[in-house]
């Protein structure tokens, strides 16, 4: 009888049968400390569990911020994008860098206390959609936690950096990566993974903080129905994918950022990524494709589904909902409500009830063409028929594009002004469905025709695209769903924001400037030249009665590696990765900038055939452009293949693309072999395409 009862219990949703795990810690960084952090400390990614990124500190304020100067800085050895928010506890600053490295500094002096390198294989880049970035660590008890790019959860001793445990936590090390910062909830480490452009099935999982053992896992898309469903939520979701075999490509919906634990509801809210492939016709996908591009809420103790709100049904534009999720108590229609605030890629700002997920309101914080509006009762977007490019058979120019009107760069909410400060991207992207698309063993699996919509070798067209691509810092009233003020930038992909009780908003930008603005009116009060683009979000802390502001500098991420002609619209600087720390009255200075040496654009003459160029353009767009830029127009991080020595000879480029000569050696470049997807003839076609592109751009006057 007892066995029958136990079996019946385990027929409940699988998530509810998870392990209990170790008891929450009572020493070091505790749950209570994270929930109500000392004013001068920054103990979790968004400072508080609500992810508001608001500091109550006022020693630096709108009256004296002009006296801010560089207290200390530390140059990093990882010249990739830097996206982390430092954490500070007990006078020690903890930060992760590109390639998932972790460093601990004396928060006052900048003295390096210890450093840890997980030695991520450089060839991991082939499955990392958006650079070798890492957004931060978590603190709990006496440990520091980091997720590594190759899919490990690592716990380090806070005092020494010594490894306490490490476990591979991704389903496989072919389709998944980890770039997000772990979060802590009641003795559990919460983290998901990236991979929605590959063959990944999204999930959020909880791990025991002391052992790393998995306690529960909630999948964001259903698996193969033939295997049965883990719970009723997956069974319901399966009805929204049409007759496609979505599970054969994973389905997507990855939780690569945006995890918020709310003690007020005991729920974990998290955002999910795009459906995979982007192009629904590539595998016959029909319907909303739950729970992709959604906010999902689960019970923090068990991982059991509680509610969801889908922001972008039928997502075919890569409109992830992985932007940071903020919880707040606001007066809405004369009543105090616990709400969830969200500004995802799709250009709308959402307010939802935190307990039930009920839609309250939405407003467009950025221009958009993919909808004709939002239903005011349900919050469901009314999709522009022209945006369904796989049905029209025509390219569609969407605003926003796949970079998003707001991506991962964190926004902040000021408890003083009631405003949210959003780093917005004002940019378009063309979409076109590939014909007769087939999946492959390597590279993006999006079902798109990148060659058809690649930037043309036309100077006027390029200048027009650059002129239409901008960015802004937008102060948004979440109750009125209305813009309060904005600061306009040269281009998109600017840094996350920090707001403080000193009536300040701090933000770095892609132009290489770190600045402070008045939180109420947006007046620029102070700035500092960083010598490189800033995409990370700042934080602030106190030591010995002095307030400091810290930010990671280092240009990179998906905007740099993949967007081609507009990549350098934002950042005219190359990457100089640094940690910068400021305080009042400091007089520090950065070393003089060095000249960026670049090989001349001096390609061999084009002797190929038009059909080679067409075939090479198709293969380049699918397998190469994500790292080396649309139409072979690169950003600042990865090699400019138009200038490469390897395009001068067929055997040279084959040695890289087929033989993988740059994958290993004393200085591995991370360039893996593509022999499983590309034949020698394909590689020669790519070479001819690159030669043609290089000669075209030289004729346009590029040097």
Which residues are marked as active site?
A: 318
Neighbouring CB atoms inside 10 A of 27's CB total: 7
**Coil vs helix vs strand at 467:** helix
- Residues 6 or more apart whose CB falls under 8 angstroms from that of 652 comprise 645, 646
What would the two tokens of residue 403 be?
């970079």
Distances (CA, A) of 13 to 218, 231, 287, 303, 304: 10, 5, 25, 10, 7
CB-facing half-sphere around the CA of 450: CA atoms within 13 A: 24
> Is the peptide bond preceding residue 400 cis, with omega within 30 degrees of 0?
yes
Q: How many CA atoms lie within 13 A of 329 on its CB side?
A: 5
Return d(Cα 579, Cα 110) in angstroms, integer: 10
Token output for 507: 């933000």
Contact 362, 379 (CB under 8 A): yes
As a whole number of angstroms, the distance between CA 560 and CA 534 comes to 12
Angle separating helix axes 680-699 and 610-623, nearest 10 degrees: 100
- C-alpha 10/C-alpha 318 separation (Å) is 36
Nearest residue to 634 (alpha-carbon basis) of 687, 681, 693 = 693
3-state secondary structure of 506: strand
- Kind of pairing, strands 482-489 and 497-500? unpaired
Helix (H, G, I), strand (E, B) or coil at 565: helix
Q: What is the C-alpha separation between 210 and 207, in angstroms, rounded?
A: 9
Give the β-pairing of 497-500 and 54-55: parallel
Which whole-number Å values give the CA distances from 468 to 451, 559, 667, in the listed order?
21, 15, 39
Select from 572, 571, 498 the least CA-distant residue to 536. 498
- Pair 469, 492: CB distance under 8 Å: yes
Instruction: Give me 682's structure tokens.
Output: 């394909």
The pair of three-digit structure tokens given for residue 62, joined into one six-digit string: 């709108």
Residue located via tokens 């620029």? 524
C-alpha–C-alpha distance, residues 374 and 247, integer Å: 30
Handedness of CA 625, 629, 631, 633 (dihedral sign): negative
* Alpha-carbon span 693 to 687, nearest angstrom: 10
Which of 350, 352, 344, 296 is CA-nearest to residue 324?
A: 344
Quote the tokens at residue 447: 């079902």
The sign of the CA dihedral 362, 557, 682, 632 is positive
CA angle 48, 115, 213 (to 5 degrees): 60
Give all strands of the β-sheet with 348-353 in edge-to-edge order: 325-332, 335-342, 348-353, 359-364
End-to-end Cα, the chain, rounded Å: 81
Is the CB of residue 487 less than 8 Å from the CB of residue 472? yes
Contact 215, 304 (CB under 8 A): no
């Amino acid at each position: 009888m007892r066995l029958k009862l136990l079996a019946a219990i385990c027929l409940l949703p699988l998530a509810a049968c998870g392990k209990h795990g170790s008891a929450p810690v009572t020493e070091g960084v505790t749950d209570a400390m994270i929930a109500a952090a000392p004013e001068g400390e920054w103990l979790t990614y968004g400072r508080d569990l609500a992810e508001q990124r608001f500091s109550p500190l006022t020693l630096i304020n709108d009256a004296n911020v002009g006296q801010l100067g560089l207290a200390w800085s530390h140059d990093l050895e990882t010249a990739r994008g830097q996206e982390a928010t430092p954490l500070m506890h007990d006078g020690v600053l903890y930060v992760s860098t590109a390639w998932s490295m972790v460093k601990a500094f004396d928060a006052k002096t900048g003295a390096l206390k210890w450093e840890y390198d997980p030695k991520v294989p450089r060839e991991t880049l082939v499955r990392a959609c958006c650079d070798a970035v890492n957004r931060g660590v978590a603190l709990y008890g006496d440990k520091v936690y980091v997720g590594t790019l190759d899919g490990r959860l690592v716990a380090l001793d806070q005092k020494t950096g010594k490894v306490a445990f490490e476990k591979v936590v991704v389903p496989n090390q072919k389709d998944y990566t980890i770039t997000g910062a772990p979060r802590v909830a009641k003795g559990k480490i919460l983290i998901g993974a990236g991979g929605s452009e590959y063959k990944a099935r999204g999930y959020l999982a909880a791990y025991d903080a002391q052992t790393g053992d998995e306690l529960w896992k909630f999948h964001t898309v259903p698996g193969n129905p033939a295997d049965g469903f883990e719970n009723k939520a997956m069974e319901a979701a399966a009805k929204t994918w049409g007759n496609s075999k979505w599970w054969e490509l994973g389905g997507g919906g990855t939780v690569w950022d945006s995890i918020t634990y709310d003690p007020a509801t005991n729920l974990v809210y998290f955002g999910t990524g795009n459906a995979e492939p982007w192009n629904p016709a590539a595998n016959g996908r029909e319907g909303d494709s739950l729970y992709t591009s959604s906010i999902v809420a689960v019970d923090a103790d068990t991982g059991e589904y509680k509610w969801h709100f889908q922001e972008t049904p039928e997502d075919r534009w890569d409109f992830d909902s992985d932007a940071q999720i903020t919880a707040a108590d606001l007066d809405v229609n004369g009543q105090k409500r616990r709400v969830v605030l969200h500004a995802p890629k799709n250009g709308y700002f959402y307010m939802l009830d935190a307990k039930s997920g009920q839609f309250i309101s939405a407003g467009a914080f950025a221009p958009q063409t993919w909808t004709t509006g939002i239903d005011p009762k349900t919050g469901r977007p009314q999709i522009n028929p022209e945006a369904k490019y796989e049905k029209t058979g025509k390219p569609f120019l969407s605003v926003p594009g796949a970079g998003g009107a707001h991506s991962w760069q964190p926004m902040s909410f000021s408890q003083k002004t009631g405003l949210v400060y959003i780093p917005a991207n004002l940019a378009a992207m063309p979409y076109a469905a590939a014909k007769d698309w087939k999946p492959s063993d390597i590279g993006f699996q999006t079902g798109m025709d990148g060659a058809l919509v690649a930037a043309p070798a036309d100077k006027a067209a390029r200048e027009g695209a650059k002129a239409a691509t901008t960015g802004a810092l937008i102060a948004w009233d979440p109750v009125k769903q209305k813009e309060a003020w904005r600061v306009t930038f040269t281009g998109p992909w600017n840094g996350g924001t920090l707001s403080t009780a000193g009536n300040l908003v701090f933000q770095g930008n892609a132009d290489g400037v770190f600045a402070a603005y008045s939180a109420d009116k947006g007046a620029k009060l102070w700035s500092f030249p960083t010598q490189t683009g800033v995409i990370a979000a700042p934080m602030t802390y106190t030591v010995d009665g002095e307030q400091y502001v810290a930010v990671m500098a280092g240009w990179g991420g998906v905007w740099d590696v993949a967007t081609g002609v507009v990549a350098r619209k934002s950042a005219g600087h190359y990457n100089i990765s640094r940690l910068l720390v400021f305080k009042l009255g400091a007089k520090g200075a950065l070393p003089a900038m060095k000249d960026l040496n670049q090989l001349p654009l001096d390609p061999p003459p084009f002797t190929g055939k038009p059909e080679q160029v067409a075939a090479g353009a198709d293969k380049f767009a699918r397998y190469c452009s994500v790292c080396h830029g649309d139409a072979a127009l690169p950003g600042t991080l990865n090699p400019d293949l138009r200038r490469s020595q390897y395009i001068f000879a067929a055997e040279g480029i084959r040695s890289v693309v087929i033989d993988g000569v740059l994958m290993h050696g004393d200085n591995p470049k991370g360039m893996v072999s593509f022999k499983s997807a590309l034949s020698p003839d394909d590689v020669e076609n790519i070479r001819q395409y690159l030669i043609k592109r290089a000669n075209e751009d030289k004729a346009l006057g590029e040097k």
